[in-house]
Structure 1
Amino acid sequence: MLLKYFYDDRLAQASYMIGCPDAGTAMVIDASRNIEPYLQAAEQHELSITHVVETHIHADYTPGTRELAALTNATIGLSAEGTEDWQYIFPDDNLQLLHDGDVIQLGAVKIEVMHTPGHTPEHISFLVTDLAVGDQPVGAFTGDFLFVGDVGRPDLLEKAAHVVGTANTGAHQQYANIERFKDLPDHLQIWPGHGAGSACGKALGAVPSTTLGYEKLFNPAFNQANEETFVNWLLADQPEVPGYFAHMKWLNKRGAPLLRELPQAQHIREMPSDDIVPPDALFIDTRPPADFAKRHLPGTINMPISENNFTTYIGYYVDYDKPVFFIAYENDVMDVLEALFSIGIDNVPGYFTDEVLADASGTIKLLTPEEIYKSGMKILDIRSASEHTSERIDGTMHIHMGEIPQRLGDIPKDEPLAIHCGGGIRSVIVTSILQKAGFDNIVNMSDGIDGWQKAGLPIVQS
């Protein structure tokens, strides 16, 4: 048996290729939209990719399932489990609908489908046995059911797709999954779909894999007193849901278009104008926050590609019905396009490089925590609710960064306001959004609450 691991840091998303070298066949699980790494791995190990499968309809990224199958002529394996509303409707002919107990055979590698609903109704996992070694399973691809130190959140359908009542049902289903997995051997390796930083759970570990025995010992999901306490624990303190998740659910149910069929983004060498960039377009500047603060085009929103959370941040603000234009350093252009495509932002008519900034007049005023403390100005904390609850500056307003466009009316416009986050990155994004909305009396707190604490200024801790 051969196993390859692939990881997208921005999405905290893991995908895998499993194969049988003797048979020369392989299967890819939860492929990312950039399929080149799988093609290279298959060529390196002289394998043919015969199956491309998904564990569920993803909410956080656009899979490369159709893309990879189109190039390799592989069979697409999708769950046929779950409710009628959450069945795949891919247009492809080479589909294999998978049910609990179905088996995919890759030479000596046996892959059994397990219906593990809860994170989503249709969710499946894949139990792997290497028959060349023995008849005991060696591992399981658990997708967004079981993570290192956590399990997949059950509330996304309710919060992202507004399907009322599914969070509680999903939590009970996750409990049933845990009980089912308690009967599997402790040596079973667990290959999860996400790592630390994903919004698909609340406390994912950063270790890429684990064993079931270890999770039985240390994962809180295996150590709740009963079903009721499990459900209460699982539903509590889940992170904010990025707005783009709803569109991902819609798109991934149908299958994303092939990238080769999309219009190519053009390098625009003229200065931006309303004739080139429509006023309702999302126009982002992907340079680092420090560069943006020194000089930028007024009306652009800073969205630094250098940050691993780029896709989450832009996902808070993107409107999939409107085009996206961006400014980037030349060396970052392809990276930006790949990141946009990874969450289904396909309407990208064009981009600019930094020469258009030669005469740009936009700046962001930066003040140190000490200067802000001495001034007594109001402070807006744009971190997550859990971050704010854990430790905060006394008297601050709190609005999560993803809610800023909807809550502009709650933000004072007639007095100085300092914006802060954890380390000074997210606050530049929000400051740029407020500038675009007409706020001209705002400053960014350099180094965020980390800098505030290092300066020895007072903090409220829970």
Structure 2
Amino acid sequence: MMIERIVSEGLSHNSYLIGDGSAAAVIDPRRDIGIYCEIAEKNGLTITHIFETHRNEDYCVGSIDLSRRTGAWIFHGAHLPFAYGNPAYDGDEFAIGSLRIGVKETPGHTDESISLVVIDSAVSSEPLCVFTGDALFAGDVGRTDFFKDRLEEMAGKLYDSIVTKILPLGDGVIVYPAHGAGSVCGGDISDHPFTTVGYERKTNPLLQNGRDEFVGRKIAEHHYIPPYFRMMEHYNQNGAPSLSERRCMDALSPEQVNGVISAGALAIDLRGPAGFAGGHIPGSLNIWKNGLSAFLGYFAAYDRPILFIDDFNENLPSAEVQALRLGYDSVAGYLHGGIGSWYRAGGAVGRCGTCSVTDVDPGDPEQFILDVRDINNRRSMGAIPGSHHVYTGHIEMHLAEIPADRPVLVYCDAGFKGSLAASVLLRHGYSDVTNLLGGMAAWKQAGLPVEDGAA
């Protein structure tokens, strides 16, 4: 038998191909499905089953395209009316060679969530591993905040699912979750590629006490919900558009870039904060390559083309695939020759201020200090004295709280989210914006004063 984990960069999403004999199953496939076919072909396997542990919120699933290409059957939890595939109920079992894949309904993250228990019948009748989707992670459990009017109910369901369905499988059973560290689908997922039931029983902070404390902690959690989640929920229940007809990105000249921006395209500058600050196309947003999956969904629209800008265009394949995984199919193209071609063509250049922590005077009455970190980081790490908080992804919704007639100093954890927030402000007409390079990490390293971020 074989189990292969496929990690999607940026999303911290894990999908899996599990095979035995000549058959294989794919669990929670991403939208760009080529990797599953390559693995199957390399190992002489035919993909016969596709399982979705739940209707995902943070990326487009690729089940329909993968089924069309392989003829595999699609299965997902029965307690949501999907427009495609087949319902799977608690106790259902599927054969993949000598493997037996059993379904356990594990609601809580969503109503239709399932976990998949694998038994290698050629060896034993005991469970070998379980694919837990977004129910149980390494060091964490799934979010339960998507149903605002059912917070206590969903948290209770998740506790019951873990305690009555997953933990009884046995301490030695390997746990393969749908997400790893950095995913927006958890709060503090450990950086482990897999875990075990016993390890989580002993070390997972949320499983150390009873049901009441578990429910209370889940209700008190704070998570952000990017706007694009709504489209992902729609696509993943009704079927996302196929990628089979997708056209390649166009290489655009500086003149063409001007044209598509004037026509409404959103320009995304993929460079780091220093490169963006030194000179960028006015109106572009600075979302670094590894931040696209986390932040593109706050600012891009599904009816508006996207344009990518980079130094030497080495990051374009990654940028495009990250956009496609979020359902952004309208990619107008990229600046041919990178930002250097824009400079050589004499295009207008925007700039963003930068500074180090030694340049900051927290007592300057003219300066508005803006903290754009996750509120959980502000509360746990403290804040620069006198700073105001607006999360990076919510900047456009809170412009009225940020004065445009004063110098604005933006800071985050290390400078990347700060540069994105600064680019949003510049795009909206703010003229005096400075990004603190190194962010709060540099501030604390320098031993500068910190105030309570929970105040």
- TM above 0.5, one fold? yes
Cα pair distance change 1:357/1:38, threshold 3 Å:
farther
Shift in CA distance, 251/357, structure 1 to aligned 2, threshold 3 Å: farther
* Residue segments in structure 2 that go unaligned for 5+ positions in a row: none
Q: Is the 8 A contact 2:353 2:432 kept in 1?
A: no
Q: Which of 317, 323, 326 is 2:305 aligned to?
A: 323
Q: Which blocks of at least 5 consecutive residues in structure 1 are unaligned?
A: 159-163
Instruction: Give per-residue Cα distances to partners, 1:403-457, cap 9 Å, x unaligned.
Output: 1001111101111110000111111111111001000011111111112122221
Q: Deviations over 1:335-389 (max 9, x none)?
A: 2111100111112132223123433411111111121227723210000111111
Tell me, in whole angstroms, the C-alpha distance in 1 between the residues paired with 2:401 and 2:362: 24
d(CA) in 2 for partners of 1:184 and 1:323?
48
Deviation, 1:277, is 2.7
> What is the CA–CA distance in structure 2 between the aligned matches of 1:62 and 1:357, rounded to whole Å?
36
**Separation in 2 of the partners of 1:67 and 1:37?**
13
Q: 1:451 aligns with which of 429, 442, 455?
A: 442
Is 1:133 matched up with 2:123?
Answer: yes
| Aligned residues of 2:355 and 2:436 also touching (Cα < 8 A) | yes
Q: Is the 8 A contact 2:135 2:162 kept in 1?
A: no
- Taking the aligned partners of 2:219 and 2:305, their CA distance within structure 1 comes to 35
Residue of structure 1 in register with 2:427 after alignment: 436
Q: Which of residues 399, 402, 409 in structure 2 aligns to 1:408?
A: 399
User: Aligned AA for 1:350?
Assistant: G
Determine the C-alpha separation between the residues in 1 that align with 2:73 and 2:398.
46
Aligned to 2:87: 97
Alpha-carbon distance between aligned partners in 2 of 1:444 and 1:416, rounded to the nearest angstrom:
11
Conservation of the 8 A alpha-carbon contact between 2:304 and 2:330? yes
Give a deviation string over 1:119-160, Cα, whole Å, max 9, x none: 01111110100001010010100000110111101112x3xx
CA distances 1:18-77 after superposition (whole Å, capped 9, x unpaired)? 1112xx000010112222222221122111111122111100111221222222121112
Aligned to 2:284: 300
- Alignment equivalent of 2:255, drawn from 258, 271, 280: 271
User: How many Å apart are 1:251 and its aligned residue?
Assistant: 1.4
Q: Distance in 2 between matches of 1:259 and 1:242?
A: 23
Report the alpha carbon displacement of residue 274 of structure 1 after superposing the two structures with TM: 6.0
- Tell me: CA distance 1:151–1:331, structure 2 relative to 1, closer, same or farther (3 Å): same
Moved more, 411-420 or 349-358: 349-358
Q: Residues of 2 paired with 1:28 and 1:402: CA distance?
A: 33
RMSD: 1.7
> Which residue of the other structure, out of 38, 41, 47, is the alignment partner of 1:40?
38
Tell me how far apart the structure 2 counterparts of residues 273 and 214 of structure 1 sit (CA, whole Å). 53
Overall identity of the aligned pairs, in %: 34
Deviations 1:301-328 (A, max 9, x none): 11111x2x32111122122232222223
CA displacement at 1:461 relative to structure 2: 4.6
Match of 1:395 among 386, 392, 397: 386
Contact between 2:292 and 2:319, CA under 8 Å: does it hold in 1? no
**Cα pair 2:265 2:332 within 8 Å, conserved:** no
- 1:334 is aligned to 2:317: yes
TM-score normalised by L of structure 2: 0.93
Query: Aligned match of 1:215 in 200, 211, 226?
Result: 200
Q: Is contact 1:79-1:87 (8 Å) kept?
A: no
Q: Which residue of 1 aligns with 2:75?
A: 77
| Ranges of 4+ aligned residues in structure 1 off by more than 6 Å | none
> 3-state SS of the aligned residue for 1:338?
helix
Distance across 2 between alignment mates of 1:274 and 1:268: 9
Tell me whether 29-38 or 126-135 shows the greater mean CA deviation: 29-38
